[in-house]
Structure 1
Amino acid sequence: MLDKIVDGPEGWTGIEANEEWAAEVRRLAAERNAVILAHNYEIPEIQDIAHFTGDSLGLSRIAATTDADVIVFCGVHFMAESAKILSPEKTVLIPDERAGCSLADSITAEQLQEWKDEHPEALVVSYVNTTAEVKALTDVCCTSSNAVDIVNSLPADKEILFNPDQFLGAHVKRESGRENIRIWAGECHVHAGISGRDLVEITEANPDADLYIHPECGCANSAIYLAGEGLVEKERVHLLSTGQMIDEAKNQGTGTVLVATEVGMLHQLRQTAPEIDFQPVNERASCSYMKMITPAALLRALALGTDEVDVPAETADAARQSLERMIAVGQSGLGE
């Protein structure tokens, strides 16, 4: 099957996700003693073949507890880095090392160091959707599900540098009530593109629907506004991480739910609660980086041991401390 794989503009292609492919993936995974992890935003075929599907931090923590020798992380590069940080003794592969992240790329270690130098007394809180180098310069990491708790756990008189997502930062500032938070102007281009106009239009068309809104979305403030103005009942507006969306869906019942996050999330939600009509707020909200993890890319990674992800020991040790401090606070969440 390897001779059919072609490298093109959209990544590795040439292989269909059929039964032959699935059988070979399972055989190679068993042969390598590999665990396959798939992020919620991956294509359905990748989610379905994985041993575990979820959000990045939750998957990394699961992988650290397995007896697998190899972690194949079907996601974007910072996620594979996090897995390596938490499992330094394991081999970590990403099916296509070119799968980056616009949010993680929106702040570099050099930029963060300059920001810290400008505010030497401040504490740095970084979203887990950051590079290992940024985590290494961070006091404590957070997820979208625990960001408010993390910030509230820090001394009230300490200035906070929150990065990199400006929409999550705005949510944290609003919920914590703290004014001494400086917020980096970064964003995920996919989540930022889910606009307030998108939300208003689809809400008007579905007036009885519940809303699942990821805090990274550009429409998060609009959701708060709609609830505040009484245009949508407050109890129907849910600001949730991807992991929390799954939990909420289990208790939702029936009806329609409008989902504001990357469209790959709909596959897991529909599997979790098939009786609910899940609809995307913006059907074009698809991450091209996530979709680079194709059936061909996964097969290639397992067969050839490519592309391996490594993090220098000094960077990994410092980054691990920022993750462990988050976990020590409690309510460590499951990731984005």
Structure 2
Amino acid sequence: MRFKNSTLHQQIRDLAKAKKAIILAHNYQPAEIQDVADLCGDSLEMSIKAAATDADIIVCCGVRFMAETAAILCPDKIVLMPNPDAGCPMADMVTPQELVKRKEELGGIPVITYVNSSAAVKAVSDICCTSANVIKVVNALKEDEVLMTPDRNLARYAAANTDKKVHLWQGYCPFHNDLSVEAVKAAKAAHPNALFVAHPECTPEVLKLADSIESTSGMIRFAGESSADQFILGTETGLIHAISKAYPEKTFFPVSDQLVCTDMKKTRLQDILDCLENMSGKVTVEEAIRIKAMDAVRKMINTK
């Protein structure tokens, strides 16, 4: 199997070079997918980096909303998704029709949409945010009330760090949301010298136990800046591979082996090779939707 994967890896790299393609992998992807990629990171980070390259093709190893974000930011490039069946349960918890209706019910207050959402939902939003910049985005708006979608836990995290009234959407990441206080306490007891770093998609009760609250990219940065040498990561287990590569001299523990996103683990090396060979899994965003979604994303990027 090792020889087969090594061969596949080289075939993918050769084909990507020949087709002037760049391979992006989210931090939650399987280790072998991260290792074959040109760039790893969070969803927006990957797309922004890809937009700055001269690649003709973007192969997005992640879930659908990530490929859509790449298509929004890179209209001049072909975006391929190796496994089109990889979706996001949280992104599916809001539709543009529902969001428009709720905004009207609340008197037209600004809608802040997490980038973990569909292009169609971004298109009816005022501004986007990431888990890393959500507090900055909320506080940058002049209005005293905002509606945040789709993640209620991220909204609660933002609400705890602003004087504004934050209205919640009842969406959530099934994996982060199900992380229990008991599981965190057990991990802390098993690794008493480790700092617990939690993702803001976790519940408020879990976040109270954290030594630091960070996005996936923030966790990597935090580990590098901290004097500690052991960390418990309160996020999807795929980050262990990326952060261990960045800081091999430090030790990282998953807070729970149950934090495994099944959709993020759907991509296989063979899927990447097949999509490059056949130019399959193409992801496009209707231009009218893309322009509006791009406006919401650009406002976020330009937020000071």
TM-score w.r.t. the length of structure 2 is 0.96
Which residue of the other structure, out of 205, 215, 222, is the alignment partner of 2:206?
222
CA contact (8 A) 2:110 2:143 kept: no
1:157-187 deviation per Cα after TM superposition (whole angstroms, max 9, x unaligned): 3x21101101111000001132x21110101
Structure 1 residues 196 and 88: CA distance shift in structure 2, 3 A: same
- Indicate the residue corresponding to 2:247 in structure 1: 273
Cα distance between partner residues in 2 of 1:50 and 1:194:
29
- Indicate the residue corresponding to 2:68 in structure 1: 81
Structure 1 residues 206 and 177: CA distance shift in structure 2, 3 A: farther
RMSD (Å) for aligned C-alpha atoms: 1.6
Which residue of the other structure, out of 1, 10, 29, is the alignment partner of 1:23?
10
Cα distance between partner residues in 2 of 1:56 and 1:117:
29
1:206-230 deviation per Cα after TM superposition (whole angstroms, max 9, x unaligned): 2332111000013x43341x47xxx
Instruction: Report the AA paired with residue 98 of structure 1.
Output: D
Which residue of the other structure, out of 138, 141, 144, is the alignment partner of 1:154?
141
1:266-322 deviation per Cα after TM superposition (whole angstroms, max 9, x unaligned): 001111111222001111211111111111111111111110000000000000000
- Indicate the residue corresponding to 1:211 in structure 2: 196
Cα distance between partner residues in 2 of 1:111 and 1:121:
14
Q: Which runs of 5+ in 2 are unaligned?
A: none
Alignment of 1:81-230 (within 5 A): 81-157=68-144, 159-178=145-164, 180-218=165-203, 220-224=204-208, 226=209
Cα distance between partner residues in 1 of 2:233 and 2:72:
31
Cα distance between partner residues in 2 of 1:280 and 1:88:
37
CA contact (8 A) 2:200 2:207 kept: no
TM-score w.r.t. the length of structure 1 is 0.87
Which residue of the other structure, out of 261, 271, 294, is the alignment partner of 1:287?
261
Structure 1 residues 63 and 17: CA distance shift in structure 2, 3 A: farther
Q: Which runs of 5+ in 1 are unaligned?
A: 1-13, 228-236, 331-336
Kindly indicate whether structure 1 or structure 2 has the higher relative contact order, using CA contacts under 8 Å at least 6 residues apart: 1
1:62-82 deviation per Cα after TM superposition (whole angstroms, max 9, x unaligned): 110111100000000000000
CA contact (8 A) 1:262 1:287 kept: yes
Structure 1 residues 15 and 315: CA distance shift in structure 2, 3 A: farther
Cα distance between partner residues in 2 of 1:61 and 1:299:
24
CA contact (8 A) 1:95 1:307 kept: yes
CA contact (8 A) 2:5 2:269 kept: no
Q: How many residues align?
A: 304
